[in-house]
C-alpha cells in the first residue's frame, strides 16, 4: 500500500504557523507561565516525525502551584458560589467560542494527533462543543432529595462539588477527552488541574486560552502538560486533590489507584478495551461488514471502544472478512491535512512499534493477514489497516489491547456459545451485535459484560448516554447525569423540628 503523495503540505496553514511558532506555556491561576524548571519538551507531527512545537514541561513544582491555585479558587467559592445559571452561562460561552474556532481546533488536533482533518471537523470538535453544552444544562439542575425519616425531623440531601479535581487524559481524542472531563466538573462547581498527554497537549492549551477569554475566574481551570511519570504522578498522589479522573491504559489506571490511596481521593477511570463485535448470519451482512470496518478503523483503531475481536457466524464469515479486507485496501493512507486521507498516522513512534509488534506476534503464533499487516512508508507513523484471521483465543492479539487498525476475526458455529468467547476478556468497555432478530439482539445485549452495547451500529456516542466500563475497563461513568454524580458528594442534613 502506497502513501498518498505528496505526503505533507509544503506549508502549514497560517493559524498553525503562528500558534506553533511560540513555545507553549503552562496555564496556571489564569496566566500562561513557563515551567518552574524552565524546561520544555518537543511535540511531534506524527505524519512526519518532525518537531511541531515546544511545550513547557510541567513537573511536581508546577502541579503544586496549579493545585494551590485550584484550591484557592475552590475555597473562595469564586466558581462554586456563582449562581448556577452563571456557571451554565460561562460553560456555554466556552462551547460557543470553541464552535467559533472550530477550524483552528480541528487543524491543531489533526496536526498533533495525526487524525484526518475532516474527521476532527465533524467529530472531535463538534462533539466537544455538544458535551460542554449538555453539561452546561446540568449546572442549574443539581438537586437533592427531601427524605421522610422516622421521628420529628426534616431531612434532605445536598449535592456539593467534590472540590479540586485532577484530570489526566490520553492522546487519541485530546480535545474531546478534555471536554468529557471538564464539562461535568465545571457544571458541578469543581476546580480543575488538567494534564493532557505528552503526545498531544496543544488543543488543551488553546482551550485554556479561550477559557481565559470568556472569563473563567483564575484557578478554576489549570492546564499543565508534562510527562505521566512526573506531572501525572504528582497530580494523582497530591494530598490536596480531592478526586482524580483518568482515561488511558489499564496498566496506568492501576498505578493511579495506588497513588490515590494516600489521601483516599475519589477515583474514576476510563480504561482499555478488547471489545467483541458479533455478526450473526441473519444480519444485514453488507451493513454489518461496513459497521465492523468502521468499528475498528475509525481513528486508526486508536479508540478504547475499537471492535478488535470480530466474531462472525461461519456461513457469512468469508463474505464479511473479505468485505472488510476490501474496504481496508480501498482506504487512503496519508497526512491528516490531505482531503483524500481515510487513515492518518498512528500518534507516535512508540505506538507504531507497539502495533506492528502485535501484528508480528500474531503471525509468529500462527495467525494470518487477509489484508495489510505492514508499516506504510519510512517517514511518519503509518500502518496499513489490517485484517487478521486464524487467531486463537490464547494469542496476545486476542487478549491485549492493540490500539491500532488491526482486527482479528474468528468464525463461530453455535450462536449459543458465542457469548462465552465474547465475554472471555478482562475488559468490559463496549460490544457490538449485528442481527435482524429483535429477540436475539436484546438477549445478547443483556448477556454481554460491557458498559455499552451497540446493536446494528457501532461507536455511537451522545452526551446524554452514560459511558464507561465493566470489569477492568474502568470505574464510574463519563457523560450523562452519571458523570455529574461522579463530581459531587452527597450530604445528608437532618433538622430536629
Ligand atoms: P497511558 O500511559 O495510560 O497515558 C494516559 C495518560 O496517563 C497520559 O496523560 C499519560 O501521560 C498519563 N500517565 C502515564 N503514566 C502515568 C503515571 N504514572 N501517573 C499518572 N499519569 C500517568 O497511555 P499511553 O502510554 O499513551 O498508551 C499506552 C496504551 O494505553 C495504548 O497502546 C492503549 O492500549 C492504551 N490507551 C488507552 C486509552 C483509552 O482511551 N482507554 C487511551 C490511550 C491509550 P504521558 O502521556 O505524558 O505519558
Ligand atoms: Mg505514556
- Give the pLDDT band (50/70/90) at residue 6: low
**pLDDT the model gives residue 100:** 98
Please report the atom of ligand 1 found closest to the CA of residue 348.
26
Q: Determine which residue's CA is closest to atom 10 belonging to ligand 1.
A: 228
Tell me the pLDDT tens digit for each residue of 441-450: 999 999 999 9
CA of 247 to the centre of ligand 1 (A): 7
Flag whether 298 is in a domain: yes
**pLDDT the model gives residue 488:** 98
Q: Determine which residue's CA is closest to atom 12 belonging to ligand 1.
A: 228
Q: Which of 160-169, 214-223, 318-327, 409-418 has the lowest mean pLDDT?
A: 409-418
Same domain, yes or no, for 427 and 482?
Answer: no
Same domain, yes or no, for 38 and 108?
Answer: yes
Same domain, yes or no, for 413 and 480?
Answer: no
Flag whether 148 is in a domain: yes
- CATH number, domain of 139, equals 3.40.605.10
Beta bridge partners of 44: 51
Known catalytic membership, residue 190: no
**Per-residue pLDDT for 240 more than 80?**
yes
**pLDDT the model gives residue 182:** 98
**pLDDT the model gives residue 12:** 84
Q: What torsion do the CA atoms of 330, 331, 334, 338 make, to the nearest 10 degrees?
A: 100
**pLDDT the model gives residue 11:** 78
Same domain, yes or no, for 114 and 189?
Answer: yes
Pocket around ligand 1 at a 6 A CB cut-off:
168-172, 195, 197-199, 227-229, 232-233, 236, 247-249, 252, 255-256, 270-272, 304, 354, 401, 403
Same domain, yes or no, for 35 and 117?
Answer: yes
Same domain, yes or no, for 100 and 138?
Answer: yes
Give, for ligand 1, the residue of 248, 383, 450 to mutate: max count of ligand atoms closer than 8 Å to Cβ: 248
Distances in whole angstroms, Cα of residue 86 to Cα of each of 82, 139, 193, 211, 359: 6, 9, 21, 14, 52
Tell me the pLDDT tens digit for each residue of 274-331: 999 999 999 999 999 999 999 999 999 999 999 999 999 999 999 999 999 999 999 9
The active-site residue, picked from 57, 109, 237, 270, is: 270
Flag whether 1 is in a domain: no
Over residues 30-45, the mean pLDDT reads 98
Residue percentage of the chain with pLDDT more than 90: 96
Over residues 86-95, the mean pLDDT reads 98
CA of 202 to the centre of ligand 1 (A): 16
Over residues 124-128, the mean pLDDT reads 98
Distance CA 72, CA 29 (A): 9
The active-site residue, picked from 190, 304, 400, 486, is: 304
Query: Domain limits at 455?
Result: 276-462
**Per-residue pLDDT for 397 more than 90?**
yes
Same domain, yes or no, for 339 and 248?
Answer: no
CA of 170 to the centre of ligand 1 (A): 6
CA of 350 to the centre of ligand 1 (A): 12
Same domain, yes or no, for 20 and 92?
Answer: yes
Please report the atom of ligand 1 found closest to the CA of residue 272.
41
CA of 174 to the centre of ligand 1 (A): 12
Q: Determine which residue's CA is closest to atom 44 belonging to ligand 1.
A: 248
- Give the pLDDT band (50/70/90) at residue 4: confident
Closest ligand to the CA of 232: 1
Q: Report whether 443 contacts 419 (CB < 8 A).
A: no
Flag whether 92 is in a domain: yes
Please report the atom of ligand 1 found closest to the CA of residue 236.
20
**pLDDT the model gives residue 436:** 98
Flag whether 361 is in a domain: yes
Same domain, yes or no, for 383 and 432?
Answer: yes
Please report the atom of ligand 1 found closest to the CA of residue 404.
32
Please report the atom of ligand 1 found closest to the CA of residue 252.
3
Flag whether 324 is in a domain: yes
CA of 277 to the centre of ligand 2 (A): 27
Same domain, yes or no, for 140 and 281?
Answer: no
**pLDDT the model gives residue 184:** 98
- CATH number, domain of 391, equals 3.40.309.10
**pLDDT the model gives residue 416:** 86
Q: Determine which residue's CA is closest to atom 18 belonging to ligand 1.
A: 229
Same domain, yes or no, for 115 and 132?
Answer: yes
Picking from 63, 43, 160, the residue whose alpha carbon sits closest to that of residue 108 is 43
Specify the number of domains making up the chain.
2
Give, for ligand 1, the residue of 249, 274, 306, 474 to mutate: max count of ligand atoms closer than 8 Å to Cβ: 249
Known catalytic membership, residue 57: no
Closest ligand to the CA of 353: 1
Flag whether 309 is in a domain: yes
The chain-wide mean pLDDT, for the chain, equals 97
CA of 70 to the centre of ligand 2 (A): 25
Give, for ligand 1, the residue of 58, 166, 170, 478 to mutate: max count of ligand atoms closer than 8 Å to Cβ: 170
Same domain, yes or no, for 253 and 341?
Answer: no
Closest ligand to the CA of 230: 1
Flag whether 467 is in a domain: no
Over residues 58-86, the mean pLDDT reads 98
215 Cβ neighbours under 8 A, 6+ residues apart? 90, 93
C-alpha cell at 369: 493477514
**Per-residue pLDDT for 404 more than 70?**
yes
Q: Which one is predicted more confidently, 9 or 452?
A: 452
- Give the pLDDT band (50/70/90) at residue 425: very high
Amino acid at each position: 500500500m502506497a502513501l498518498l503523495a505528496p505526503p505533507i503540505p509544503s506549508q502549514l496553514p497560517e493559524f498553525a504557523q503562528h500558534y506553533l511558532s511560540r513555545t507553549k506555556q503552562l496555564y496556571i491561576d489564569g496566566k500562561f507561565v513557563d515551567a518552574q524548571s524552565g524546561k520544555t519538551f518537543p511535540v511531534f507531527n506524527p505524519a512526519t516525525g518532525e518537531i511541531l512545537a515546544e511545550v513547557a514541561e510541567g513537573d511536581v513544582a508546577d502541579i503544586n502551584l496549579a493545585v494551590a491555585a485550584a484550591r484557592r479558587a475552590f475555597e473562595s467559592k469564586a466558581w462554586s458560589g456563582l449562581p448556577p445559571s452563571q456557571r451554565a452561562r460561562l460553560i456555554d460561552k466556552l462551547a460557543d467560542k470553541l464552535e467559533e474556532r472550530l477550524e483552528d481546533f480541528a487543524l491543531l488536533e489533526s496536526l498533533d494527533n495525526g487524525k484526518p482533518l475532516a474527521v476532527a471537523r465533524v467529530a472531535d470538535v463538534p462533539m466537544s462543543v455538544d458535551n460542554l453544552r449538555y453539561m452546561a444544562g446540568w449546572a442549574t439542575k443539581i438537586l437533592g432529595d427531601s427524605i421522610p425519616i422516622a421521628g420529628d425531623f426534616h431531612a434532605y440531601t445536598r449535592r456539593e462539588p467534590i472540590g479540586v479535581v485532577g484530570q489526566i487524559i490520553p492522546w487519541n481524542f485530546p480535545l474531546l477527552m478534555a471536554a468529557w472531563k471538564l464539562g461535568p466538573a465545571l457544571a458541578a462547581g469543581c476546580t480543575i488541574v488538567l494534564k493532557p498527554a505528552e503526545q498531544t497537549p496543544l488543543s488543551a492549551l488553546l482551550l485554556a486560552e479561550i477559557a481565559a477569554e470568556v472569563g473563567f475566574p483564575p484557578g478554576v481551570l489549570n492546564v499543565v502538560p508534562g510527562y505521566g511519570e512526573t506531572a501525572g504522578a504528582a497530580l494523582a498522589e497530591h494530598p490536596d486533590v480531592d478526586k482524580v479522573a483518568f482515561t488511558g491504559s489499564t496498566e496506568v489506571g492501576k498505578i493511579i489507584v495506588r497513588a490515590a490511596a494516600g489521601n483516599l481521593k475519589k477515583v474514576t477511570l476510563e480504561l482499555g478495551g478488547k471489545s467483541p463485535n458479533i455478526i450473526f448470519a441473519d444480519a444485514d451482512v453488507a451493513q454489518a461488514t461496513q459497521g465492523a470496518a468502521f468499528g475498528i478503523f475509525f481513528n486508526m483503531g486508536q479508540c478504547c471502544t475499537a471492535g478488535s475481536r470480530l466474531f462472525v457466524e461461519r456461513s457469512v464469515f468469508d463474505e464479511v472478512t473479505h468485505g472488510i479486507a476490501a474496504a481496508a485496501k480501498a482506504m487512503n493512507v496519508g497526512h491528516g491535512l490531505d482531503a483524500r486521507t481515510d487513515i492518518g498516522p498512528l500518534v507516535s513512534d512508540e505506538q507504531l512499534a507497539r502495533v506492528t509488534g502485535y501484528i508480528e506476534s500474531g503471525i509468529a503464533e500462527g495467525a494470518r493477514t487477509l489484508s495489510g499487516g505492514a508499516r506504510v512508508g519510512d517517514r511518519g507513523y503509518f500502518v496499513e489497516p489490517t485484517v487478521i484471521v486464524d487467531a486463537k483465543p490464547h494469542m496476545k492479539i486476542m487478549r491485549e489491547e492493540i490500539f491500532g487498525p488491526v482486527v482479528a476475526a474468528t468464525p463461530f458455529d453455535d450462536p449459543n456459545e458465542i457469548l462465552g468467547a465474547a465475554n472471555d476478556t478482562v475488559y468490559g468497555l463496549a460490544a457490538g451485535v449485528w442481527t435482524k432478530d429483535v429477540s436475539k439482539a436484546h438477549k445478547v445485549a443483556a448477556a454481554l459484560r460491557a458498559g455499552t452495547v451497540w446493536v446494528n451500529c457501532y461507536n455511537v456516542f451522545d452526551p446524554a448516554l452514560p459511558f464507561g466500563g465493566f470489569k477492568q475497563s474502568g470505574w464510574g461513568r463519563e457523560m450523562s447525569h452519571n458523570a455529574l454524580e461522579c463530581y459531587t458528594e452527597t450530604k445528608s442534613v437532618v433538622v430536629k423540628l
